[in-house]
Amino acid sequence: MTGNLLIDSAISLAGIAVLVVLTRLIFSAPPAPVSEAGARERLAFDEPDFEPQFWIIDMGGRAALALATTGEAAIIRRLGRDLITRRFRATKATIVLDGSPAAAADIDHLVIKLPDHTVKDIKIAVGSDMTEQVAALQRALV
């Protein structure tokens, strides 16, 4: 363009900003919350041989945790409008259940830390209707 790297870079970044703002304006609907149905569908695509038995759905719609009787777990997390999946053995991840003593009914959120540098820690706010599922998670972690 101008031959000056700094000016050309500034022009390029300004052009990027314009396109991003346009995209934001044209596609402004907020992403849908993560539901069990949506998470199940995504999990079935990414991990078709994973058979979930229990689901823990984040009350804020950010993520879902699936548990299988094999001791495996899968997290389905929202990334923008899309979902990503990570499958792992429940005992291989660090899962922090907030609320001591460890009575399932007292757990109000859990934090999942995976040994995966491409995914940040995932926090799931647990509703009072998830006691059975949380108890299943506690058993899986033993």
Partner 1 sequence: METPLENFVFPNIVAYAVPAFILLVIIELIAVRLTGRGRYEAKDSAASLFMGFGSELAPLLGAGAVIIAAFTAAYEFRLTTIPNVWWAVVLCFVLDDLRYYWWHRISHERRWFWASHVIHHSSQHYNLTTALRQTWTGQVIGALLFKTPLILLGFHPLMVIFVGGANLIYQFWIHTELIKRMGPFEWIFNTPSHHRVHHATNPRYLDANYAGTLIIWDRMFGSFIPEADEEKPRYGIVKNLGTFNPLMIAFHEWIGIVRDLRTAKSLREVGGYLLGPPGWSPDGSRLTSAMIKERWTRLHGGSAPEPTTENPTAQPAE
Residues 112/124, Cβ–Cβ less than 8 Å = yes
| The two three-digit tokens of residue 73, written as one number | 């777990």
Judged by CB under 8 A, how many residues of this single chain contact partner 1? 31
Rg (CA), the chain: 20
CB closer to partner 1 out of 29 and 129 = 29
Q: Which of 77, 97, 104, 134 binds partner 1 (CB under 8 A)?
A: 77
Q: Please, what's the largest Cα pairwise distance for the chain?
A: 66
Contact call for residue 79 and partner 1 (CB under 8 A): yes
Q: Which of 15, 53, 105, 127 binds partner 1 (CB under 8 A)?
A: 15
Contact call for residue 102 and partner 1 (CB under 8 A): no
Whole-Å CA distances, 2 to 14, 17, 60, 122: 15, 19, 48, 45
**Pick from 50, 139, 138, 66: which is nearest to 100 by CA?**
138
| The two three-digit tokens of residue 45, written as one number | 């695509």
Work out how close the CB of 21 gets to partner 1 at its nearest, in angstroms, rounded to a whole number.
8
Calpha distance 72→74 (Å, rounded) = 7
Contact call for residue 3 and partner 1 (CB under 8 A): no
Contact call for residue 119 and partner 1 (CB under 8 A): yes
Contact call for residue 135 and partner 1 (CB under 8 A): no
CB closer to partner 1 out of 7 and 105 = 7
Calpha distance 142→138 (Å, rounded) = 7
Residues in contact with partner 1 by the rule CB under 8 A: 1, 5, 9, 12-13, 15-16, 19-20, 22-24, 26-27, 45-46, 48-49, 77, 79-82, 84-86, 116-120
